[in-house]
Amino acid sequence: MIRWLAGLIGFGLAATSALAAEPVLIGIGYLGVAGPRSTLSLVEQPAENDGVAGARLAIEDNNTTGKFLGQRFTLEERRIKEGEDPVQAATALADKNGFIIADLPADALLKVSDALRERGTLLFNAGAIDERLREADCRANVIHTAPARAMLADALGQYLVWKKWSRWLLVVGSHDEDKLFADALRRTAARFGAKIVQEKTFEDKGGARRTDSGVTLIQRQMPVFTQGAPAYDVLVAADESEVFGAYLPYRTWDPRPVAGSAGLVPRSWDPAQDQWGAIQMQNRFMKLNSRRMTALDMQAWTAARMIGEATSRTNSGDVKKVTDYIKGPDFSIAAFKGTRLTLRDWNLQLRQPILLVDGRMVVSVSPQEGFLHQVSELDTLGYDRPESKCKLK
Amino acid sequence: MSRMWRIGLLSGLALAAAPAHAFIAYVSNEKSNTVSVIDTETWTVTKTIKVGQRPRGIDFTRDGKFVMVAVGDDDTIQMIDAKTQAVVDSLPSGPDPELFAQDAAGKILYVANENDNTVTVIDLEKRARLGDIQVGVEPEGMTISPDGKTLINTSETTNMAHFIDTSSRQIVANVLVDARPRFAEFKHDSSEVWVSSEIGGTVSIVDPKKHEVIGKVTFEIPGLRKEAIQPVGIGMTKDDKTAFVALGPANRIAVVDVASRKVTKYLLVGQRVWHMAFTPDEKYLLTTNGVSNDVSVIDVAAQKVIKTIQVGELPWGIAIAP
């Protein structure tokens, strides 16, 4: 009895001193690009705080947990203006923050990761979907919470094949990223047995996305543009540049569904996602930011939560310790997608289910039933270990 | 011919109903916004009660007079009169109540409110809110120690079991468990708390005095991928010898030997099995199968599934009249 009492007192002391001590501070930087991005649909126009709003929510979540563990998380945001050096901005952030969540174009991200390598700063790529960042240009200090382009294409392709819509009319924009998405879709078609019956290019001849009599003109252009195609089941649009994709649904010459960059779209997250406890997350996000949560918000949330998960499991704010734990075999993160998410150890890409959304509802979630894999069904999405060209350094 | 068949059926029923005691089970149907009432003598649904939106957590008041059901999207807990089987009152829970626990006397109710990181304390007699306790992100699982002194709450995104002193309503310890802890269950002898982690895929066994994880139950089902094993509900026999763990989309109940913490058997039930309840005589265990919209009946002694009962859409919680 006395021993038990003594033990209790000892515990009480330990608990008190832990609470009394100064919390361990864990600094997270957020590096993005300044200026708005224009979309065809006004309702899809991203908010100024797209992405960082998700990181902010994760900081709140981490701090709720952190108060029980004596950890405190802070977020410092930095936006790069056109012509500004990303390395300089990143270095300034890295002075105070051991972790940086980046929403940068591929080239800028590579420059930053190489500049910060010696410091040991851990970078999270929350924005760029480029394959090369996970393949030939992969880096040991960059973790990808954004899905890769091939993961998105495969997620869509699996569903179209499951639906037996296997004859695709592929319409590709004239910009580089449109062509990259088309490459990914061609690879998907070959992998899963779909047939691209014809390819068309939609030239971007410039022009405004907002006009006063836009609908009238588009209604005349799109049927003609899609006229005369060989028999197909679904039109797949590769238009990451937001030039024509959203103009296609309901306007094709033949009555066919549209998928890809418009219609049925593959995304890591959507405001309509409410399964697997996601409604709590959507409500928390709405309360904090007074708007709905986008895919970029989710990718940044996941990055900041991965840091919080690792600091609580290691009971440490040490960047090296936390990095090792995240890259280690025991790491997984819960992100309201019905399954634990883990890292592909060969290129540090986060495995994740991909939602297929139509702007109002989640239509389906890939991987689809029947796409099997010896390690994880999530590895049926994107480049798998045997195909990877990544050598982490 | 038809008479012979009927006689056969009757005698079969008589055999099944041989235990004599009939009980009444209440099943919350998350999607239908109803509660299905099941008679355990005939294993049929005898009534479907309309309730509020998104009913999940469900339990009897200690006196057996009312069934409490948390209707999350209506931000309240409704009281169903067990006699008339109609909703008669509601309790002032916080926003989005999901699971709850009551003290041994049945006077105080503790409710996990997923939306605002709190546990709400309610006086059941006065049906009044007494206060809130701040816990981790997305509180869910709730249980009270058999002596009534400690309340355990699990928080899904914080990944902790919070130990709360019921007299001071203060957190006395926080124990990290695997990802997305959803349910907590005490052994009847109070020596262990079992906490299921849906995404972690394990059940952590916590020493409630030392506040430490002292063991883990792991699951492995040949031919099934690891990610499909998502432990949720836990039921333990009164002798503390056998535990049953619902494995969600693995569509199975694991039978666990409590002493060795090893799985001895997997019972195939319906799809996405959530929660469970024993009949008071502990002869049967009923499980709610979310995706297949049915309830499986397990013969506890034989460790066999003997029956499936169709209920409403997305059955979630279950409570059986004492």
pLDDT in tens, A314-339: 999 999 999 999 999 999 999 999 99
- B chain contacts of residue A305, beta-carbon cutoff 8 Å: 157
Q: What secondary structure does DSSP assign to B117-156, as a single string? A: TEEEEEETTTTEEEEEEE-SSSEEEEEE-TTSSEEEEEET
Note whether A340 contacts B225, CB cutoff 8 Å: no
SS (H, E, C) A307-361: HHHHHHHHCCCCHHHHHHHHHCCCCCEECCCCCEECEECCCCEECCCEEEECCCC
Nearest CA distance, A280 vs chain B (angstrom) = 6
Cα–Cα distance measured from residue A268 to residue A147, given in angstroms and rounded to the nearest whole number: 7
State CA B186 to chain mean position distance: 13
Contact A68 B158 (CB under 8 A): yes
Strand partners, A248: none
CB B53 within 8 A of CB B74: yes
Distance separating alpha carbons of residues B59 and B126, to the nearest angstrom: 18
Cα–Cα distance, A195 to A152 (Å, whole number): 18
Q: What is the DSSP letter of B248?
A: B
B-interface mutation test, from A280, A316, A377, most B Cβ less than 10 A away: A280
Query: Which residues on chain B are in Cβ contact (under 8 Å) with A377?
Result: 225, 227
Residue B212 at interface with chain A, using a CB cutoff of 8 Å: no
- pLDDT for B11 equals 46
* Residues of chain B contacting A277 with CB distance shorter than 8 Å: 114, 138, 156, 180
Which chain A residues have a beta carbon less than 8 Å from that of B171? 68
What DSSP element (H or E) covers B171?
strand B170-176
Strand B55-60 with B66-71, pairing: antiparallel
> pLDDT 10s per residue in chain B (322 long)?
444 444 444 444 444 444 457 899 999 999 999 999 999 999 999 999 999 999 999 999 999 999 999 999 999 999 999 999 999 999 988 788 889 999 989 999 999 988 788 999 999 999 899 999 999 999 999 999 999 999 999 999 999 999 999 999 999 999 999 999 999 999 999 999 999 999 999 999 999 999 999 999 999 999 888 888 999 999 999 999 999 999 999 999 999 999 999 999 999 999 999 999 999 999 999 999 999 999 999 999 999 999 999 999 999 999 999 8
CB B196 within 8 A of CB A102: no
Q: ipTM for the complex? A: 0.72
Which pLDDT does position B20 carry in this prediction? 52
Residue A332 CA to residue A366 CA, distance in Å, equals 19
Q: Angle at CA B23, nearest 5°, toward B19 and B27?
A: 135
Helix (H, G, I), strand (E, B) or coil at A115: helix
Residues forming beta bridges with residue B195, ordered by sequence position: B184, B204
Lowest-confidence region among A234-238, A273-277, B313-317: A273-277
pLDDT in tens, A83-142: 899 999 999 999 999 999 999 999 999 999 999 999 999 999 999 999 999 999 999 999
Residue B227 contacts A, CB cutoff 8 Å: yes
Model pLDDT, residue A211 = 67
Q: Does B200 touch chain A (CB under 8 A)?
A: yes
H/E stretch holding B80 reads strand B76-81
Report which of residues A191 and A20 the model is more confident about: A191
In whole angstroms, what is the distance from residue B77 CA to residue B321 CA? 18
Q: Which residues of B touch A334 (CB under 8 A)?
A: 156-157, 159, 179-180, 198-199
CA dihedral A112, A118, A120, A123 (to 10 degrees): 10
Instruction: Record the tokens describing residue A310, joined without a space.
Output: 């690792």
CA A222: distance to chain centroid?
Answer: 31
Quote the CA–CA distance of B201 and A103 in Å, as a whole number.
32
Q: What's the pTM value of the predicted model, to 2 decimals?
A: 0.83
Q: Are B16 and B41 in contact (CB under 8 A)?
A: no
Distance (Å) of CA A178 to CA A23, A110, A268:
47, 21, 19
Cα B231 to Cα B205: distance, rounded to the nearest angstrom? 13
The CA-based diameter of chain B, rounded to the nearest angstrom, is 69
- Best of A68, A275, A332 to mutate (most B CBs within 10 Å, chain B): A68
- Adjacency order of strands within the sheet including B193-197: B181-186, B193-197, B202-207, B212-218
Chain A with chain B: Cβ pairs closer than 8 A = 66
User: Residue B15's CB: how many other CB atoms inside 10 A?
Assistant: 8
Q: Which string of b and e fits A139-150 if b means at least 16 CB within 10 Å? A: bbbbbbbbbbbb
Instruction: Give the one of B172, B180, B211 whose C-beta lies nearest to A334's C-beta.
Output: B180
Task: Name the residue among A285, A274, A317, A263 with its Cα closest to residue A23.
Answer: A317
Taking CA–CA distances from B155, the nearest residue in chain A reads A65
Return the beta strands (E) in A97-255 as ranges: 99-102, 122-125, 142-144, 167-173, 195-202, 234-238
Enter the tokens of residue A297: 């918000």
Are the C-beta atoms of A340 and A333 separated by less than 8 Å?
Answer: yes
A132 DSSP 8-state letter: G
Round to whole Å and give the CA distance between B112 and B161. Answer: 13
**Do the bridges between strand A343-344 and strand A340-341 make them parallel or antiparallel, or are there none, so unpaired?**
unpaired
Residue B279 contacts A where some CB pair is shorter than 8 Å: no
The C-alpha of B247 sits at a distance from chain A's nearest C-alpha, in angstroms, of: 13
Provide the mean pLDDT of chain A.
92
Count the Cβ atoms, other than its own, within 10 Å of residue B233.
25
Q: Which of A15, A65, A332 sits opposite B137 (nearest CB)?
A: A65
Chain A residues whose beta carbon lies within 8 Å of the beta carbon of residue B137: 61, 64-65
Residue A264 per-residue DSSP state: B
- Residues 6 or more apart from A91 whose CB is under 8 A from it? A115, A116
Phi, psi of B26 (to 5 degrees): -115, 125
Residue A301 token pair: 């949330």
A378 CB neighbours in chain B (<8 A) are 227
Q: How many angstroms away from the CA of B107 is the closest CA of chain A?
A: 29
